[in-house]
Amino acid sequence: MSSVRGGAPRTGAAAQHRAAGRDPRGGSVGTGAGAQRDPGVPRMSRRAREALAAYGFLLPWLVGLVGLTLGPMLYSLYLSFTRYDLLTPPEWSGLDNYRAMLEDPRLAKSVEVTVVYVAVAVPAILVVSLAVALVLSRAMRFLPFYRAAFYLPSLVGASVAVSLLWRHLFAGDGVVNALLRAVGVQGRTWIGDPDTALYTLVLLSVWTFGSPMIIFLAGLKQVPRDLYEAAEVDGAGPVRRFVSVTLPLLSPLIFFNVLLTTVNAFQAFTPAYVVSGGTGGPADSTLFYTLYLYQRGFTQLDMGYASAMAWALLVVLGAFTAAMFATARFWVHYGDER
């Protein structure tokens, strides 16, 4: 009995030694593969380890954001207050570039051309894309082929190759005039006439309606069929069902497409550059804002003025985006609203 009672303290002492990280025979108690953690180093929590790993994965993107986006943006903001010709160091000029913009007749012309282009192209793209989406939302044969065929132009529409093709199609001896002559109609030099050159570019932008069409098509697939059935029971015709059921349920997608298409239209550059040969002609009828910005910065080497133009465009697009979000609550309807 005495040996049993005497063994208990020894067992307790051994447990205390192990809890303290020491071996009762004078050694140390190892952890894992025999490594001993230094009690003076705090152990990192699991959340901290996960956050550290996340920042490690984000580090390349953050470096690119700062070095390739934020850095050049801030430097261009500085250049907008300077005279800089890419060959000599920038010279501070204050607000001179912005004052010169107010007195530049070609800048005013480029703004006029761009606004007309946006005002015509954006509604046309949205109407055509929604109309095609309504047709493709119905059951028909070879539907996947039609979807792919209509979407394909949006993948290559802004490329140099398509712009060159467009230039040849609407030239004086192009395919369009050849087709018109075949039916007895006298053609014209569409891209050489100031009255029609801009609208050939509008037609090119409308031809690339695939992206908004796919978005509208996905939205139409989510409209509950019972809403159409209920409206039909109430005596609503096709037009009434479209106005009262389809458009309200598609309003979030309309908002997204209007915003994205408008921003892209303001930034259009390649078609005007290729079709006009970089001049914005004829008679500045295709002088987009971005094309004039390119001319001032890389043709006339007036990078300070071009930077001011770029920041003015950014402010306009930011104001437009803010206005869209501010007015969205009046006409954008979501399915979970009561």
Q: Is 111-284 in CATH node 1.10.3720.10?
A: yes
| pLDDT tens column, 289-300 | 999 999 999 999
Residue 217 has pLDDT above 50, yes or no: yes
Q: Is 124 within 8 Å of 202 (Cβ atoms)?
A: yes
- The reported pLDDT for the residue numbered 213 is 93
Dihedral (CA of 315, 88, 102, 285) sign: negative
Q: How many CB atoms lie within 10 A of CB 7?
A: 10
Backbone conformation region of residue 116, classed left if phi is above 0, alpha if psi is from -120 to 50, else beta? alpha
Kindly state the percentage of the chain with pLDDT values over 90: 59
Q: What is the 3-state secondary structure (H, E, C) of 121-145?
A: HHHHHHHHHHHHHHHHCCCCCCHHH
Mean pLDDT of the chain: 86
- The reported pLDDT for the residue numbered 44 is 78
Give the DSSP letter of residue 44: P
User: How far apart, in Å, are the Cα atoms of 289 and each of 37, 284, 293?
Assistant: 65, 11, 6
Q: How far apart are the first and last CA of the chain?
A: 80
**List of residues 6+ apart from 241 with CB closer than 8 A:** 228, 231, 232
User: How far apart, in Å, are the Cα atoms of 184 and each of 6, 179, 187, 200?
Assistant: 121, 9, 9, 22
| pLDDT tens column, 8-28 | 444 555 555 454 555 444 444
Range name among 153-157, 207-211, 298-302 with the lowest pLDDT average: 153-157
Burial of 313 (0-12, 13-18, 19+ CB in 10 A): middle
- The reported pLDDT for the residue numbered 34 is 47
- The reported pLDDT for the residue numbered 140 is 77
Q: Is 257 within 8 Å of 226 (Cβ atoms)?
A: no
Burial of 198 (0-12, 13-18, 19+ CB in 10 A): buried
In the block, tokens 């979501």 appear at 334
Nearest alpha carbon to residue 81 among 104, 98, 101: 98
| pLDDT tens column, 237-287 | 888 999 999 999 999 999 999 999 999 999 999 999 999 999 998 999 999
- The reported pLDDT for the residue numbered 5 is 46
User: How far apart, in Å, are the Cα atoms of 34 and each of 18, 41, 156, 187, 204?
Assistant: 14, 17, 62, 89, 71
| pLDDT tens column, 25-81 | 444 444 444 455 556 556 778 888 888 999 999 999 999 999 999 999 999 999 999
Residue 56 tokens, joined: 């490690």
Range name among 10-14, 84-88, 188-192, 328-332 with the lowest pLDDT average: 10-14
- The reported pLDDT for the residue numbered 334 is 83
- The reported pLDDT for the residue numbered 291 is 96
Number of residues in the chain: 338
